[in-house]
Amino acid sequence: MLRLTHNQGARWITGAFHTSPMGAMSAVAGLMPLHLQLKKLFERSVIRINTLHPHHPVLSLLERRKAKGSTLHPNALECKSKTIRKVIKSPLDSVIDNPSSEIFDPLSEHIKPGHWLVDRHPDKIKFVLMPKNRKDRDEYHNNLNLAPVREPNALHLFTAGVKHKFDLSVPVPHRTHSHIALVTVFKGQAITSKTRAAGRRVNDETIVGWSTFLALIKAHKKLQKGWPISKVVLYTTSQLIVKNLMSTNSKPLGSQLSIAVSLAFDAIATDFPEVDIEVRGFNKSWATAPGTYTEDSGMLQPLAQRAYYSAETARTFTEPSLSFPQSASYHYTRQKTT
């Protein structure tokens, strides 16, 4: 039944005929093979059960050696005979037979208040909130525009993210739903400008987190090269998302992206304690509005326009890298090891 539903979904996505080969159709539709999907769900269930609190009611349905001291339920697997357990084929049986070698502690010290990144470096990372009043907001954006000139020794990292509309004219292997852009400014001049694919079916958290991670990696590289940087300034559309990613930065509560962003912040704060970090918000309408300044003027707004224009016009993956981008934590680990 699952395979039949999986095949129908692939036909619906691609619009192929009923007699089309399922392997090729699933690949074109971007669907994971069913047996691999089930394996992924099973492995997640193993990890999820290992992260449960010792008094969680699900543990009372397992065997005594896996119940973490919980009182067993009368219908627990411990009370069932082997014949009945073969008939039931409970997924909990598979969890018992395939224990995870990794130890998960849902109440570990790393995820308690006081051990988060924002708690360990309270004075290093400053969030500058955007005013709610329209008049004050205009003045705030004017100050942002002059920031590269007023703070020449600060490294300004402007991030932008764009979700593309679905375009049938783009081939499926090249199609992507979002792009991020990064413009790095130092001493009033743009020194680097990068555009990367953020992936398919992503949300705002992924776009903001992925662009923040790339910006921090760029800042860490510049600091390692000995650039005379006194402050790292990150510009983002959502300071709340950045703060949330910094708060849930350890397993099992933290996602791969939050772990990567926290590690990137922590690397700058630990390796370069003399450098301050500041996160400033901005309004997208200000960044994309037509301005009177040029990029040579040293103002931030023309560079913000460039970032959004690059993200808007980037529609496909580049030819050398057609493979889907890896997770942020994977790239951060690779950066640290190489």
Residue numbers in the chain where pLDDT is lower than 70: 88-115, 165-176, 199-201, 248-255, 315-338
CA pair distance 230, 117, nearest whole angstrom: 21
Count of Cβ atoms closer than 10 Å to residue 237 Cβ: 19
| Separation CA 218–CA 233 (nearest Å) | 12
pLDDT number for residue 234: 94
pLDDT of residue 60: 80
Identify which of 269, 152, 274 has the alpha carbon closest to the alpha carbon of residue 216: 269
Cβ atoms of 125 and 118 within 8 Å: the answer is: yes
Residue 95, pLDDT score:
58
DSSP letter assigned to residue 201: S
pTM, full prediction: 0.62
* Per-residue tokens: 65: 């050696």
Residue-level pLDDT at 48: 75
Q: Are 328 and 217 in contact (CB under 8 A)?
A: no
Rounded Cα gap, residues 207 and 164, in angstroms = 12
- For residue 338, the model assigns a pLDDT of 39
Contact indicator for 307, 159 with CB cutoff of 8 Å? yes
pLDDT at residue 327, rounded to an integer: 45
pLDDT of residue 329: 45
How many angstroms separate the CA atoms of 122 and 243, rounded?
12
Question: What's the longest Cα–Cα distance across the chain?
Answer: 79
